[in-house]
Amino acid sequence: MFDHPSFDQHEDVHQFFDAKSGLRCLIAIHSTVLGPSAGGTRMWNYASGAEMLNDALRLSRGMSYKNAMAGIPFGGGKAVIWGNSRRDKSEAMFEALGRAVESLQGRYFTAEDVGIDTADIQIAARQTGYAAGLTNGASASGDPSPLTARGVFLGLREAAMRAFGTDDLSNRTVAVQGVGSVGGYVCQHLAEAGARLIISDIDGRALEEVSARDGATIVAPDEIYDVDADIFSPNALGAIINESTLPRLRAKVIAGGANNQLSDPEMGARVRDAGILYAPDYVINGGGIINVAAEILGSYSLDWVYNKIDTMVETLGRVMDEAISSGLPTSQVADRMAQKRLAKAAEGA
């Protein structure tokens, strides 16, 4: 654990196993200096336990940075479940997840993420008071995906303004990787703005729905890197900007909702050297956790959420402007800004 390349002074890493339901779960808490940790639960059919641990460590660290940059009073945490989200789910599994979250006594709040929907979290909430993104309750906020997509779209326009001198997307082609809960809403925003869409996903049904609604062109998953597009918007899984995919991209902007898009920290400089403006993922995709935070705080207001998302997009603009003026990779500028916010909070504590 302590010499793992993705370990970053994480406060807690918890392993949970429930033999009855088959739950195999890790909950990683990176930092609580800003407040109790908050982040979604992801369900994925990992190739190994080592891959699962790496995902939990990277995602929870990303949540610390995301929450700090979003300006909400929560630290960073993440739960990951090892399993096939289409085959292995059961009520017993998510009740076991709820008990696992409850056992942490408020150090971690959970919500939806990849492979998990509001119905799953609603079941977990039977066993814990530390679940959000719910459909029932006085402050229930529901599925956070539309708010994540709203922030991604607004952030994408900020990046376009800096890369092309205008945020008008009516003559832009956007390659969207992943058209699920977040990517589908991103496509809808882009289509309404007049953008031409090229889309890919492993879910054929989702592709057909988005194509029919938004007039998007469908390509095979591996072909999305090679299309002639102005903007590449990754909205699926992480580490998709790497040594093999970066040379294939023709886009001038990378802006999407996926977490941990860069395969490693050094890739930020490679993206800059390729002449591509990268909108750091944990800055642009904070709309969903802002929405969840409003629910956790107990007085949900959509106006408050929208204002926070607008502020988040302004922060993204500052990151890109500083990167452009200094010559530093946007990822490095964002990391430094997030680390300063966390350090200041730690000093105050």
Contact 156, 279 (CB under 8 A): yes
List beta partners, residue 268: none
Tokens of 226: 């090679």
Which one-letter DSSP state was computed for residue 241? B
As a whole number of angstroms, the distance between CA 100 and CA 96 comes to 6
DSSP codes joined into one string, 88-110? S--HHHHHHHHHHHHHTTTSEEB
Tokens of 320: 């890109």
**Residue 147 CB contacts under 8 Å (≥ 6 apart), including other chains:** 287, 288, 290, 291, 305, 309
**Residue 279 CB contacts under 8 Å (≥ 6 apart), including other chains:** 155, 156, 158, 159, 253, 254, 255, 256, 316, 320, 330
As a whole number of angstroms, the distance between CA 29 and CA 52 comes to 15
Tokens of 269: 């400089």
CA distances to 23, 196, 199 from 95, in Å: 10, 43, 36
Pairing of strands 37-38, 75-82: parallel
Q: For the chain, what percentages of helix, strand and coil (3-state, to nearest 5) are there? A: 45, 15, 40
Tokens of 140: 């229930």
Nearest residue to 200 via CA among 182, 225, 218: 218
Pairing of strands 41-44, 173-177: unpaired
Place of tokens 């993104």: 133
Q: Is 340 a catalytic residue?
A: no
Q: Which of 78, 89, 252, 308 is catalytic?
A: 78
Which one-letter DSSP state was computed for residue 125? T
User: What are the catalytic residues?
Assistant: 78
